């Protein structure tokens, strides 16, 4: 029997939660087969500048005149960068599930899968205009990421003014996973993703929203509170429904268009969706380098 999101979150133990979710995955825990230098022959590829000449198959060259390198399936050594939005809006809650807790479990599970596979992990947070690297790649990265996630709290807002982060501009080959609600006043998140772009990088964006955020359908008078500014406004649900739903539909479509680019994958999910389904979808749709 599959554990519910609320049951998993109530465990209050990210290591155990990650293990439970990974065991529920129908497609297994391996993130993808990659090819490199190893013992079991898998395929040939053309020699490229920078490759070790010792890897050239000279027997093949003597027959064909082509510089080819033998590749084999090996243990993966992918650089994975995990990023978490800690803006106050991440405290949004529906049916007992807070967005920030859902996000923590998504990151913890992916970190667990990557750790089992031997990938290199690092972890960053976005909070009140600051990008902070909490965990650098090391043999103990997974344990340190879990330690950081356990105590993370969302608060404050993200500035509208354009930010520049040198740490995002590296050109190394990596997979970046950013978990956020991607709610913005202007184009803050779009600009951040634009800054991260590079042909060597693959970027996966998890947009987590509540079911009522995606399609508001409640009747009665409600007090709506901005989780980043604490400003409150009282509105009639039926009156606000049409205008709100039109606005959120337009925004989600604009976000899809903005991120419809090579090597950028936007996953728009709701926090009532089983976490195991979201991660399974991620594993089945993406292709590592």
Mean pLDDT of the 134-154 span: 96
Closest CA to 98 of 5, 3, 226: 5
Q: Above 90 in pLDDT, residue 209?
A: yes
Number of C-beta neighbours around residue 3 at 10 A: 18
Closest CA to 159 of 204, 191, 206: 191
* H or E element that contains 38: strand 35-46
Alpha carbon distance 166, 173 (integer Å): 16
Q: Which pLDDT belongs to residue 1?
A: 65
Are 181 and 99 a contacting pair, CB within 8 Å? yes
Mean pLDDT of the 213-239 span: 82
Q: Which pLDDT belongs to residue 116?
A: 86
Domains belonging to the chain, first-starting first, are 5-30+76-286 (3.40.50.410), 41-74 (no CATH)
The string of DSSP letters for 131-166 reads EEEEE-SSTTHHHHHHHHHHH----S---SS----G
Alpha carbon distance 220, 127 (integer Å): 34
Residue-averaged pLDDT of the chain:
87
Supply the DSSP symbol for 30.
-
Q: Above 90 in pLDDT, residue 35?
A: no
| pTM, rounded to two decimals | 0.82
| pLDDT level of residue 43 (50, 70, 90 thresholds) | low
Instruction: Give the N- to C-terminal CA distance of the chain in Å, as an integer.
Output: 34
Supply the DSSP symbol for 250.
H
Strand partners, 135: 123
Q: Which pLDDT belongs to residue 273?
A: 96
Q: Which pLDDT belongs to residue 26?
A: 54
Q: Above 80 in pLDDT, residue 41?
A: no
Q: What is the Cβ-side half-sphere exposure of residue 228, based on CA atoms within 13 angstroms?
A: 16
Q: What percent of the chain has pLDDT over 90?
A: 57
pLDDT digits (tens, 9 = 90+) for 230-288: 888 887 777 788 888 999 999 999 999 999 999 999 999 999 999 999 998 898 766 54
pLDDT digits (tens, 9 = 90+) for 87-100: 999 999 999 999 99
Closest CA to 70 of 115, 114, 116, 39: 39
């Amino acid at each position: 029997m599959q554990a519910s999101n609320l049951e998993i979150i109530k465990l209050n133990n990210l290591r155990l939660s990650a293990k439970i979710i990974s065991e529920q995955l129908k497609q297994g825990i391996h993130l993808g087969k990659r090819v490199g230098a190893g013992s079991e022959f898998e395929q040939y590829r053309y020699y490229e500048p920078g490759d070790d000449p010792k890897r050239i198959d000279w027997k093949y060259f003597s027959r064909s005149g082509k510089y080819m390198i033998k590749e084999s399936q090996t243990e993966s050594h992918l650089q994975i960068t995990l990023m978490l939005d800690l803006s106050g809006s991440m405290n949004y809650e529906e049916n007992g599930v807070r967005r920030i807790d859902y996000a923590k479990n998504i990151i913890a599970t992916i970190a667990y899968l990557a750790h089992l596979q031997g990938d290199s992990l690092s972890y960053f947070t976005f909070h009140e205009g600051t990008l902070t690297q909490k965990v650098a790649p090391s043999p103990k990265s997974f344990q340190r990421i879990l330690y950081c996630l356990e105590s993370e709290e969302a608060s404050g807002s993200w500035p509208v003014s354009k930010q520049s982060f040198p740490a995002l501009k590296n050109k190394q080959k990596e997979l970046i996973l950013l978990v956020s609600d991607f709610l913005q006043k202007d184009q803050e998140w779009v600009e951040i993703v634009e800054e991260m772009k590079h042909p060597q990088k693959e970027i996966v964006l998890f947009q987590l929203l509540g079911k009522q955020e995606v399609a508001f359908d409640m009747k009665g008078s409600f007090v709506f509170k901005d989780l980043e500014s604490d400003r409150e406004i009282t509105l009639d649900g039926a009156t606000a429904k049409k205008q709100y739903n039109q606005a959120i539909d337009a925004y989600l479509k604009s976000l899809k268009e903005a991120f419809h680019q090579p090597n950028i994958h936007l996953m728009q999910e709701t926090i009532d969706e089983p976490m195991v389904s979201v991660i399974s979808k991620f594993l089945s749709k993406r292709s590592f380098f």
